[in-house]
């Protein structure tokens, strides 16, 4: 359920931030103290590579006075299911003063999150998308069976979240719609009970987030896909628009490539540093980084400093730079040693080997004995 994408964060600005990127998130409080309204804009992915539940709750707590109405506006393709559930529960705890507003799209985990609001308003030209949870995994058969069980449990959590918003909904029909990946119009969402009101429609572009994910869904409406490549006419004042015609990068696929390659090479500790270093730019960048990471790991192991590999990979060092860092660590630590090929010197004179001194008496006796033997052999 994880979607990988960077997020630009705009906190506590005066007024709504201009749309200059595909994903953004902001909070603002407007009006006098007696009629204060807190607005939260979740425009982008939900989860680690987007707006996390932790960040959402902390930022909201800064502005929340406990009494002001809160409007949470969504335009999100979804993201991490459990972050979406945490936001769902955070909105639910706010009670009747919380309104969830779908400005363009609340898909996947975002649809779970918005259903936590006491009142849900879907713009007339907006959509709600519900589908089965999905993930990626690697491992043996037992590992994959555990993943399948976890997905089944996640589905029950999703169903429970929708039923909390629409307790009278037909559960059999709800499960069918979820399994079929259903894109609901505002009126269909109201008919099912997942929304309370159809709001005014305002066209919103360039905030859908990771286009690759939009293309991965099986039944994405063509109108939404067209927004990913639509050319935006400049207006006055001129605002730089994102390059929507550039090739779409499938970040989830690249993250899976890093995960599988690292697991196969026995360097799973380098998965997160590689994702951070490459920013999942493109496949060529990822492949080059994987090759370099393996070489750096080998260098660190040879230097008996394997723990340095994570730091060097995260910093994007090449092998030459990593080798230099390792040399500095070994020399600077004082743990190095020198090889001395000279023979050891024995300091104990008592153990020194000395030459045998001549003994005149023994030499004379040996000579006399030799002469005596010669004389005996000469007699007839």
* Residues pairing with 24 in the sheet: 8, 43
Domain definitions of the chain by residue range? 8-227, 251-332
Q: Report CA-CA distances (Å) from 209 to 79, 163, 242.
A: 10, 27, 12
- pLDDT value for 350: 52
* Residues pairing with 129 in the sheet: 107, 183
The closest of 43, 46, 94, 101 to 71, measured between CA atoms, is: 101
d(CA 20, CA 342): 72
d(CA 157, CA 85): 9
Burial of 246-274, coded b for 16+ CB within 10 Å and e otherwise, reads: eeebbbbebbebbbebbeeeebeebbebb
The closest of 290, 299, 240, 237 to 268, measured between CA atoms, is: 290
Within 8 A by CB and 6+ apart from 272, the residues are none
Residue range 8-227 in CATH 3.90.226.10:
yes
Across the chain, which has 380 residues, the per-10-residue mean pLDDT values are 31 35 50 71 82 88 89 90 94 95 92 96 93 86 91 94 94 94 93 93 51 60 61 45 52 80 84 85 88 90 86 88 81 49 49 58 75 62
Q: How many CB atoms lie within 10 A of CB 43?
A: 29
State the sign of the Cα–Cα–Cα–Cα dihedral 141, 142, 143, 144.
Answer: positive
- pLDDT value for 21: 38
In Å, the largest CA–CA distance within the chain is: 150
CA–CA–CA angle 88, 69, 101 (5° rounding): 50
Q: Report CA-CA distances (Å) from 213 to 45, 76, 155, 216, 253.
A: 10, 11, 20, 5, 10
Please give the model's pTM, rounded to 2 decimal places: 0.52
State the sign of the Cα–Cα–Cα–Cα dihedral 350, 353, 358, 363.
Answer: positive
The radius of gyration of the chain from alpha carbons, rounded to an integer in Å, stands at 37
Give the CA-trace dihedral at 234, 235, 239, 240, to 10 degrees.
0
Helix axes 251-265, 283-302, angle to 10 degrees: 30
Tokens of 311: 């730091």
Tokens of 380: 């007839």
- pLDDT value for 8: 28
């Amino acid at each position: 359920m994880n979607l990988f994408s960077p997020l630009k964060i705009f906190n506590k600005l005066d007024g709504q931030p201009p749309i200059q990127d595909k994903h953004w998130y902001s909070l603002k409080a407007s009006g006098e103290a007696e009629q204060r309204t807190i607005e939260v804009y979740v425009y982008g992915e939900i989860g680690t590579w987007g707006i996390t539940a932790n960040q959402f709750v902390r930022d909201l707590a800064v502005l929340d006075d406990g009494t002001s109405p809160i409007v949470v506006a969504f335009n999100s393709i979804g993201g991490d299911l459990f972050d979406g559930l945490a936001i769902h529960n955070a909105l639910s705890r706010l009670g009747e003063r919380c309104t969830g507003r779908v400005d363009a799209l609340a898909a996947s985990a975002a649809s779970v999150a918005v259903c936590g609001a006491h009142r849900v308003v879907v713009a007339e030209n907006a959509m709600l998308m519900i589908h089965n949870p999905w993930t990626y995994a690697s491992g043996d058969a037992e590992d994959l069976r555990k993943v399948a069980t976890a997905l089944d449990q996640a589905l029950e959590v999703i169903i429970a979240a929708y039923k909390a918003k629409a307790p009278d909904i037909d559960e059999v029909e709800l499960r069918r719609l979820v399994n079929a990946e259903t894109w609901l119009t505002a009126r269909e969402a109201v008919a099912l009970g997942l929304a309370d009101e159809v709001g005014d429609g305002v066209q919103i572009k360039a905030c859908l987030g990771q286009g690759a994910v939009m293309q991965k869904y099986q039944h994405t409406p063509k109108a939404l896909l067209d927004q990913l490549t639509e050319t935006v006419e400049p207006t006055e004042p001129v605002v730089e628009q994102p390059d929507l015609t550039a090739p779409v990068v499938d970040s989830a696929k690249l993250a899976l490539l890093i995960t599988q390659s690292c697991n196969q090479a026995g360097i799973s500790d380098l998965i997160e540093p590689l994702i951070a270093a490459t920013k999942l730019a493109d496949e060529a960048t990822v492949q080059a980084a994987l090759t370099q990471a393996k070489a750096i790991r080998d260098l660190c192991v040879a230097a008996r400093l394997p723990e340095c590999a994570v730091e060097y990979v995260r910093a994007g060092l090449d092998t030459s730079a990593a080798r230099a860092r390792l040399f500095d660590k070994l020399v600077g630590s004082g743990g190095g040693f020198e090889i001395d090929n000279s023979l050891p010197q024995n300091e104990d004179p008592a153990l020194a080997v000395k030459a045998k001194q001549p003994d005149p008496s023994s030499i004379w006796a040996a000579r006399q004995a030799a002469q005596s033997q010669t004389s005996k052999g000469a007699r007839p």
